[in-house]
């Protein structure tokens, strides 16, 4: 169901791009915006793993350095039918984790030092299984495509704004009010659809992680601890990468939660517990 929902949302983004491009930027403007957006996201897709890992000063560890963590990742990767990903440690007190890599062959799992100290081994299994599911589902690719289309929509809207300011535009018969509304609404709508895709992927990773670990309560219990700790222990996280973490590393108010790429933690836990009790 999550896969179908993602496809529908991706199609929605594409239709939005074509519509706003035709209405505001014309064919030339839309083509130019697409070239820029795809160029930026092509670079991000191929090098995002290195960039993010360096951003958080993640250190790759061997089995000799972290035998329990390495063993968990290897066992769950084998169970999921994945190549062994690289394992990284981030020297942060906040318990958190993320996965990166453009495909399963280049997968990496990064966990903070705080998550190792606060979770039981079973709860850590639940978290690792969640991250491995992101790798298995190629969520980095999905996120990159969604960002590409959403970025293109923003570029087209911005170009249309400049065109109106300087009196440009090929369609003199167009409705300026409609154009202004589209310039404001389209980027916001694209952001909301992009958020919906991210949330859908998180639900999918929760479900897949529960299956790989063998017990949904492993992850459910981990999420309870991680949510509380993430609000109490600060982390030097970049807002542009906060969506990658298993729980939002940034403190969030009511408005921020409405526009969060992470689903409500209570709903994630409820779904996982429901899976456990149906067994």
In angstroms, what CA-CA distances link 61 with 32, 38, 74? 43, 34, 13
Q: Taking the C-alpha atoms of 198, 203, 204 and 209 in order, what is their torsion angle to the nearest 10 degrees?
A: 120
The answer to whether residue 170 scores a pLDDT higher than 60 is no
Tokens of 139: 């969520």
What percentage of the chain carries pLDDT values higher than 70?
71
What mean pLDDT is predicted for residues 12-40?
68
Give the per-residue pLDDT at 24. 62
What mean pLDDT is predicted for residues 66-87?
97
Give the per-residue pLDDT at 140. 75
pTM of model > 0.95: no
What mean pLDDT is predicted for residues 223-235?
93
Tokens of 239: 């807002």
The answer to whether 176 and 236 are in contact (CB under 8 A) is: no
Query: What residue segments make up the domains of the chain, in order of their start?
Result: 2-278
Residue of 44, 40, 43, 37 whose CA lies nearest to 190 = 37
What mean pLDDT is predicted for residues 55-72?
95
CA distance 15 to 21: 10
Give the per-residue pLDDT at 172. 47
Give the per-residue pLDDT at 173. 47
Residue 131 a catalytic site member: yes
Residue 22 binned pLDDT confidence (cut-offs 50, 70, 90): low
Q: 120-154: per-residue pLDDT in tens?
A: 999 999 999 999 999 999 887 777 667 667 766 77
The answer to whether residue 256 scores a pLDDT higher than 60 is no
CA distance 165 to 168: 8
User: Strand (E) positions, the chain?
Assistant: 59-60, 86-90, 97-100, 108-112
In sequence order, the 6+-apart residues with CB closer than 8 A to the CB of 128 are 72, 73, 76, 97, 109, 111, 213
The residue from 92, 123, 125, 131 that is catalytic is 131
What mean pLDDT is predicted for residues 250-259?
61
The answer to whether residue 208 scores a pLDDT higher than 90 is yes
**Residue 263 carries which DSSP code?**
P
Give the per-residue pLDDT at 112. 97
CA distance 246 to 238: 14
Give the per-residue pLDDT at 107. 93
Question: 87: which strand partners?
Answer: 109
């Amino acid at each position: 169901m999550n896969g179908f929902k993602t496809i529908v949302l991706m199609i929605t983004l594409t239709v939005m791009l074509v519509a706003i491009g035709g209405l505001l930027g014309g064919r030339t403007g839309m083509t130019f915006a697409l070239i820029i957006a795809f160029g930026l996201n092509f670079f991000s897709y191929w090098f995002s793993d290195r960039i993010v890992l360096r951003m958080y000063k993640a250190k790759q560890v061997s089995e000799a350095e972290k035998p329990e963590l390495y063993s968990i990742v290897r066992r769950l990767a084998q169970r999921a039918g994945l190549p062994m990903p690289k394992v990284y440690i981030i020297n942060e007190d906040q318990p958190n984790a993320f996965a990166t890599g453009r495909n399963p062959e280049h997968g990496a799992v990064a966990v903070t030092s705080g998550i190792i100290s606060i979770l039981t081994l079973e709860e850590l299994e639940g978290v690792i299984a969640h991250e491995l599911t992101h790798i298995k589902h190629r969520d980095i690719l999905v996120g990159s495509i969604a960002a590409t289309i959403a970025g293109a929509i923003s570029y087209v809207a911005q170009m249309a704004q400049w065109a109106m300011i300087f009196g440009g535009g090929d369609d003199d018969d167009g409705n300026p009010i409609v154009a202004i509304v589209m310039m404001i609404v389209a980027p916001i709508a694209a952001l909301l659809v992009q958020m919906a895709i991210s949330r859908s992927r998180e639900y999918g990773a929760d479900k897949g992680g529960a299956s790989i670990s063998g017990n949904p309560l492993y992850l459910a219990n981990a999420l309870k601890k991680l949510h509380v700790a993430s609000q109490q222990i600060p982390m030097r996280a970049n807002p542009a990468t906060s969506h990658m973490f298993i729980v939002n590393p940034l403190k969030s108010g009511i408005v921020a939660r409405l526009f969060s790429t992470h689903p409500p933690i209570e709903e994630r836990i409820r779904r996982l517990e429901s899976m456990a009790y149906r067994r």
